[in-house]
Amino acid sequence: MKGMVFTEFLEMVEDQFGWEIAEDIVEESNLPSGGAYTAVGTYDYQEMVAMVVTLSKKTEVAIPDLLKAYGKHLFGRFNSLYGNFFEGVDGTFQFLSTIDQYIHVEVRKLYPEAELPKFEYEHPNDHTLIMIYSSKRPFADFAEGLLIGCIDHFGESVTIEREDLNAADGTEAKFTLVKVTESIAAD
Ligand code: HEM
């Protein structure tokens, strides 16, 4: 995974749990890279898994909750770092529909070694978007956090329902996003 995914993770840990914890998890996770991440480097995604496991043990926050919190945090950073992807986009569904065929395609041009998931989309009606996540990496929780971050960013009322696919190992999940409109809420 790209170094920025690691540097942003450690910044979130420092903000939320303090620098001592951030230092401890780097020291205690037996990281092949030693944990000296640079934004331009590329590192084994297993190092992220190792740090999340250590952080969970230390903080007693469950691993899925940590990955979701991280996804949510990172979405906010994407907004500052890659503002051009947000130009002219005025809603959650519009934005999310561009990830697979546009945003991640552009990311791959910038970083040919990036490890990106695949999304398939279904749009059964105006208020429902289905996204099927699949990856070689077990980051469905991280994806869910990014989705939550996106919904928060656009300030819309959208519910997420998740169904784990492929033996629920985190590499495949179906997310059904539903816009809560007033008429539905009143039902
Ligand atoms: C401006 C918006 C976005 C940008 C610039 C962006 C860019 C990136 C980058 C740079 C990576 C790391 C690649 C690597 O480590 O080698 C990544 C991974 C990932 N992205 Fe995006 N992304 C964006 C939005 C999203 C959103 C909204 C989702 C929602 C689900 C998403 C899902 C993921 C996931 C789950 C990964 C982890 C890799 C994996 O699961 O296999 N991304 N993205």
Taking only the tens place, the pLDDT of each residue in 127-158 is: 999 999 999 999 999 999 999 999 999 999 99
62, 138, 142 from 168: Cα distances, Å: 16, 9, 14
Q: Which residue has the tokens 């780097």?
A: 26
Ligand 1 centre to CA of 117 (Å) is: 7
Kindly tell me if the per-residue pLDDT of 187 is higher than 80.
no
Ligand 1 centre to CA of 55 (Å) is: 22
Ligand 1 centre to CA of 151 (Å) is: 15
**Closest C-alpha to ligand 1, atom 34:** 143
- Give the span between the Cα atoms of 139 and 45, in whole angstroms: 10
**Closest C-alpha to ligand 1, atom 18:** 116
**Closest C-alpha to ligand 1, atom 10:** 107
Sign of the CA dihedral with 119 first, then 170, 78, and 178 last: positive
Q: Report which secondary-structure segment, H or E, holds 123.
A: strand 118-125
| CB of 171 closer than 6 angstroms to any ligand 1 atom | no
pTM to 2 decimals? Answer: 0.93
Count other C-beta atoms under 10 Å from residue 101's C-beta.
10
Domain 69-186 classified CATH 3.90.1520.10?
yes
Indicate the domain borders of the chain: 3-61, 69-186
Q: 51 and 9 in contact (C-beta within 8 Å)? A: yes
Paired strand residues for 119: 133
Q: What are phi and psi of 177, to 5 degrees?
A: -105, 130
Question: What does the DSSP assignment read for 30-66?
Answer: T-TTTT---TT-B--HHHHHHHHHHHHHHH---HHHH
**Residues counted in the chain:** 187
Q: Which residue has the tokens 């990036």?
A: 114
Averaged pLDDT score across all residues of the chain: 95
Please report the atom of ligand 1 found closest to the CA of residue 131: 30
**Closest C-alpha to ligand 1, atom 38:** 116
At residue 185, the pLDDT reads 54
pLDDT digits (tens, 9 = 90+) for 70-122: 999 999 999 999 999 999 999 999 999 999 999 999 999 999 999 999 999 99
At residue 60, the pLDDT reads 97
Kindly tell me if the per-residue pLDDT of 57 is higher than 60.
yes
Ligand 1 centre to CA of 20 (Å) is: 28
